[in-house]
A and B are shown apart, each in its own frame.
Chain A
Amino acid sequence: MTAILIYLLGMALVMVIVAGIGIFWAIKSGQFEDLEGPAQRILMDDDDPRIPRYSDSRSNR
């Protein structure tokens, strides 16, 4: 009983640490600075067209 408890609690602790590192990274990379833009940006369909155009070949050069 206690062994499995220790194991699970240990796992929880590890996960908390991983989550903490994740959030710290997100803060450091500035993801909390603009809370409006990304919501708008997702509406932009900026997938590259399937047929490469002149401009695409140029930029991939």
Chain B
Amino acid sequence: MEHPGCAEKTCFHCALPVPPGAHYQVIIEDVPREMCCRGCQAVAQTIVDNGLADYYRHRTAMPGAGHEVVPEELQKLALYDHPGIQKSFVRQEGEHVKEASLILEGITCAACIWLNERHLKQLRGVLQVQVNYANHRARITWDDQVIQLSKILEEIQLLGYNAHPFSAERQENLRRQRRAKDLRRIAIAGLSAGQVMMLAVALYAGAAFGMEDSTAALLRYLSLLLTLPVVFYAALPFYQSAWHALLGRRLNMDVPVSLAVISAFAGSVWATFQGQGVVYYDAITMFSLFLLSSRLLERSAQEKSVEAAENLLKLAPAMAIRVVDDQHLPVLVLELNEGDTILAKPGESIAADAEVIEGRSTVDEALLTGESRPVPKSPGAAVIAGSINLEGPLLLRVTGVGENTVLAGIVRLLDRAVAEKPRLAQLADRVAGHFTVILLILTVLVGAAWWWVEPGRAFETVLAVLVVTCPCALSLAAPTAFAAAGSHLLRHGILLTRGHGLETLAKVNHVVFDKTGTLTYGKPVLQRTIQLAELDENRCMALAASLEKTSEHPLAQSFLVRVARPELVPVQEAQNLPGKGVSGIIGGVRYTLGSSALSGLPAAALPGELPAGSTLVWLCDERRALAVFVLSDSLRPQARELVARLKAAEVRVSMLSGDAEDAVSHVAAEAGIEAWQAALRPEDKLNALRELQRRGNVVAMVGDGINDAPVLAGADVSIAMGGGTQVARASSDIVLLTENLLDIQLALQTGHASMAVMRQNFAWAIVYNVLALPFAALGMVPPWLAAIGMSASSLVVVMNALRLR
């Protein structure tokens, strides 16, 4: 169907432009639709043939481009039927019933889930399909006698999605079980609390207006019955934690909590059997319910940040294609060794850290860095396990597997950051510990005082004091804020590798930059093109890129990234002239690209001034020079804005560089940095840094992570540009995975925000406890109100921390 008003046709399936001359049609709901490629056509046809065309009406986001569905791609899936391979991710449910946990790639909206679930359920032998919208995980149960796993995977692929096994399943299972257990405890506490509260109202009313003793006794016994599961099941984690603390001769907040629950229960049971005195079943159940709920909230906030790390590990595929004597053999990634040659097909994720031997392609490292710009790779370049090969097949030599991959390194760094408690959190723990001691002493004093004044109310008051002053909010204040801020940063590609990072960031008032590789790219980038003949700039660029296509010189990349693949023209007799440049015949004309001496032509005069330290590359045909490309190491585009923003935030900025003075002053002027020093050795840099610190500055050092290691270590907080493969080696507190300089500003902001939230949390927790204690001690707070107050204060703290995300 032609749309007269629409100049450019877009693919109905994936919304990419339809290339001119392409003719792939699918009739969807009686309307023929144009597709951009055979892949999209096949996917769309599968969707329509299975009566799932509704997908197109309901989708809210476009899927990825249809993958070319090639037979050998499907062949590899057959390997997943092998029992040995299935062992790691398939569970035997019944005699022939199996359950697998899969990661679905390509889920962009809720319609995708519907599509997958509907389609797979239609298959004979598939018993159950569940796709989780939040983490894109699918759990599929099937009958082994009727259908094979490879067939299911194939069907998913035919829909245009990619399913692969999820091997971290055991860990996931553990987490699921723990969450289920927590939920069960909360359910028990909630149900009991509701019933007990109802009975408590009746008892209070009875106390006020008179009630037969036998009825009151009945209500009390029933309350006791309903409280039993709370005290003996739901509240178990409190006792366990308190017991562990006591064994280690420590006090934690669960000690007063357990004391309160057990003594209140004991007192109430005694009162129930005696038939006189006050019962506190309502307070016990409510207290447990609220406390359990706020703990669950806190834990899920923290698990979010752990999950981010685990999702990284899941990026690595389970299968790879090993190339031995030109034979392609699918093998498990676990069986790969360093030095093996593997093939990465376009659209697949790369199985191990490796070096490109053959082929040219772009690679998506977005899941690692958060940035979706494809990174060009040519022979000699390093690729990272888990990144996705986008364009052409790459032949790779494995340089790192398993624990030795960059991916594993990042996860280790993350683990370290999580394991290290920030100073403030340590302080909070200590304060909470002291607070508990003071609280227990105070409770005894208050109890003694009441015992002396009015023994009948002593027990009630002691309970209220124990409950209302529980330092839960105090202990939650720091960890929740850190967890929320950490996962916020990671989502933006900022990796926090040390626990104290955020805390120090908030205090930073001076940022020191290195020049090369930090404020600049650290490699030559095409600055401008000077035309010397009538050929236009794009044509010159296309010619240069085509000539450089076969070159391995680092300069070649700066041309290739500028030109789209289809624009490249075929080159005959391509020649690499090491140290000089390249030459080749295009359309019958011999072109050369390289130094001015290469063509043998007299150097043409160059108009205008050229920036210092730039490299000139000449494009010449047989008779004359056509163009000159000016390349130099340029300032990153965000550098200027970052400096301006930092200054606006009243953070001083300076630059320390080992380069020559004129190059440094040029970059400093361009970035807007007034304070700079050039020609420094690493120890000079360190001294300059120390001098700044001596003058009372809290200094953040931004470097490229490897060359600057000693200087970085000397700074209060160090930030490394960690793009690509250096991440794991970076010895800094914070790594910018995206290499986007503005992230520094974001990190500083997040540091300030998390400190602000933490201060609010501490202030709230302390004010609450200090205010509530006298009222409770004076017997003005009944135990049930104490329970509400304590839980509300913890909830406020958790909610406040979640604002950071």
B-contacting residues of A (Cβ < 8 Å)?
1-2, 5-6, 9, 12-13, 16, 19-20, 23-24, 27-28, 30, 32-37, 40-41, 43-46, 53-56, 59
Min CB–CB distance A60 → chain B (angstroms): 9
Q: Are A5 and B114 in contact (CB under 8 A)?
A: no
A-contacting residues of B (Cβ < 8 Å)?
49-51, 54, 58, 109-111, 113-114, 118, 122, 130-134, 176, 179-180, 183-184, 187-188, 191-192, 194-195, 198, 212, 214-215, 218-219, 222, 225-226
- CA gap between A56 and B118 in the complex, in Å: 12
What residues of chain B lie closer than 8 Å to A20, measured between beta carbons? 187-188, 191
Q: Are A2 and B183 in contact (CB under 8 A)?
A: no
Q: Are B187 and A37 in contact (CB under 8 A)?
A: no
Q: Are B184 and A24 in contact (CB under 8 A)?
A: yes
Q: Are A27 and B183 in contact (CB under 8 A)?
A: yes
- CA gap between A3 and B180 in the complex, in Å: 39
State whether A41 and B110 are in contact (beta carbons under 8 Å apart), knowing that A9-B222, A34-B134, A36-B133 are contacts in the complex.
yes
Q: Are A19 and B191 in contact (CB under 8 A)?
A: yes
What residues of chain B lie closer than 8 Å to A59, measured between beta carbons? 50-51, 122
Q: Are A44 and B130 in contact (CB under 8 A)?
A: no
What residues of chain A lie closer than 8 Å to B114, measured between beta carbons? 41, 44, 46
What residues of chain A lie closer than 8 Å to B51, measured between beta carbons? 53-56, 59
In the complex, residue of chain A having the shortest beta-carbon distance to the beta carbon of B190 = A23
What residues of chain B lie closer than 8 Å to A19, measured between beta carbons? 191
Q: Are B218 and A41 in contact (CB under 8 A)?
A: no
What residues of chain B lie closer than 8 Å to A27, measured between beta carbons? 180, 183-184, 187
Q: Are A43 and B218 in contact (CB under 8 A)?
A: no
Q: Are A34 and B184 in contact (CB under 8 A)?
A: no
What residues of chain B lie closer than 8 Å to A46, measured between beta carbons? 54, 114, 118
- CA gap between A9 and B226 in the complex, in Å: 12
Q: Are B218 and A5 in contact (CB under 8 A)?
A: yes
What are 20 A-B pairs with beta-carbon distances under 8 A? Answer: A2-B215, A5-B215, A9-B218, A9-B219, A12-B195, A13-B225, A16-B226, A23-B184, A23-B187, A24-B184, A24-B187, A27-B187, A30-B130, A37-B113, A37-B132, A40-B109, A44-B54, A45-B58, A53-B51, A55-B51
| Given A13-B222, A44-B110, 16 more pairs with CB closer than 8 A | A5-B215, A6-B218, A9-B219, A13-B225, A16-B195, A20-B187, A23-B184, A27-B187, A30-B130, A30-B176, A32-B179, A34-B133, A35-B134, A41-B113, A43-B58, A54-B51
Min CB–CB distance A24 → chain B (angstroms): 6
Min CB–CB distance B57 → chain A (angstroms): 9
Min CB–CB distance B708 → chain A (angstroms): 43
What residues of chain B lie closer than 8 Å to A28, measured between beta carbons? 180
Q: Are A55 and B187 in contact (CB under 8 A)?
A: no
- CA gap between A44 and B226 in the complex, in Å: 42
Q: Are A34 and B132 in contact (CB under 8 A)?
A: yes
In the complex, residue of chain B having the shortest beta-carbon distance to the beta carbon of A37 = B133
Min CB–CB distance B614 → chain A (angstroms): 52
- CA gap between A30 and B212 in the complex, in Å: 46
What residues of chain A lie closer than 8 Å to B110, measured between beta carbons? 37, 40-41, 43-44
- CA gap between A33 and B178 in the complex, in Å: 12
Min CB–CB distance B48 → chain A (angstroms): 9
What residues of chain A lie closer than 8 Å to B118, measured between beta carbons? 46
Min CB–CB distance A50 → chain B (angstroms): 13
Q: Are B218 and A2 in contact (CB under 8 A)?
A: yes
Min CB–CB distance B536 → chain A (angstroms): 50
- CA gap between A45 and B176 in the complex, in Å: 30
The 6 closest A-B pairs by CB, nearest first: A37-B133, A40-B110, A55-B51, A23-B187, A59-B122, A44-B114
Q: Are B132 and A33 in contact (CB under 8 A)?
A: yes
What residues of chain A lie closer than 8 Å to B133, measured between beta carbons? 34, 36-37, 40-41
The answer, among B49, B54, B188, B218, for a CB contact under 8 Å with A45, is B54
